[in-house]
Chain A
Amino acid sequence: MEYSPGPILSNLAKALEKQYRPHEAELLWKVAGYFDDALPAPEFTDFTSLVKMLTANEAEYLEPIRQAAASTEAKAADRGALRAATWGGKVNAIQKSLADRYAKKGDELVEGKKLFVCEACGFMFLGDQAPDICPVCKAPALRFATVA
């Protein structure tokens, strides 16, 4: 396959859940699960490597989306792709900040606190309780998953 099937499949499985097709969703989750560990474990496993990757994303992966999606004609612009790049840019910055702060401070950073992830856009929050509204995508608090 040209691209990794995992995220494509899990995205489609979530779409089936939103369509209230539980049986089809279950089948697709099974197919998606097959690819859960399809990517080989990376050579370097430290937070600093992750910070490096996240730092390069803005120029290497997000700006190309914006350039391809923007058009001089408003009607031809792909606003869905621009939306993905807008949210993606903000969430990528948060991911980078958290990985970087953890790389520097270690466990002390998160001790006694909970980590929340917005299931709609990926926004991450470190604190005692989830925000009332996601600052990136405006989803309500109930869309936040708590990572224990």
Chain B
Amino acid sequence: MHAVRNLRLCTKDCVCLFVCPTGATDTETGQIDFEKCLDGCRRCVDACPSHAISLVMDNYPARPAKDKAVADALLNFMEQKHREEALAKALAASASTPARAKVAKALAASLRILAEDGAREAGYMIPQSTESKAFLEKLLAQRPSVAGKQFPEAELKELLSLL
């Protein structure tokens, strides 16, 4: 586990600099140097007066398995929201006025968030989970075609090697 700084909450009291034994909290980017950060040390987390530092996991626990009927219902919902998103995007692309495009774009964004929420609760919450990795492996094996685009094979392979 290494520490991360939430830059929105950080009040620049810099107490984390006083307590860090490796200097990992003092960087030009404002973010903690993950390479220098000691696994699970958490001195900066406890010292921060603004509660702006937290620990992120290197390994995430397996989540409770999803019931198939629940996962299917959620994925059906996701699929429907995605179809509606496609319609909203088409409405935005063909809009005759800026106001019409604005409404369609906002709807498309909102519809995508609901589709994502369906995916998240259906078992694709964490990229490192067995379900997510199996999904990515399947994607790599099947390489679904999309007109006019080249399948991002290198990116997907690198991602799988890092997860």
Taking Cβ atoms with an 8 Å cutoff, the residues of A that contact B are 1, 3-8, 10-12, 14-16, 19-20, 23-24, 27-28, 30-31, 33-35, 37-42, 44-47, 49-50, 53-54, 57, 60-62, 64-65, 67-69, 78, 80-81, 83-84, 87-88, 91-92, 94-95, 98-99, 102, 106-107, 109-111, 115, 117-124, 142, 145, 147-148
Contacts and interface: CB of A to CB of B under 8 A. Distances in A.
Contacts of B90: 41-42, 45
Q: How many B residues touch the partner, as a band?
A: 35 or more
A37 B108 CA distance: 12
A24 B58 CA distance: 13
Contacts of B124: 8, 11-12
A39 B89 CA distance: 10
A45 B83 CA distance: 12
Given A5-B139, A65-B74, A148-B102, A121 B121 contact: no
Given A33-B152, A84-B77, A117-B109, 6 more contacts: A1-B144, A30-B152, A46-B91, A81-B121, A119-B113, A123-B110
A53 B156 contact: no
Contacts of A42: 83, 86-87, 90
Interface string B68-104: 0110111111111111111111110010010110110
Closest 6 CB pairs of A and B: A122-B113, A7-B115, A11-B116, A107-B99, A39-B86, A147-B106
B118 A84 contact: yes
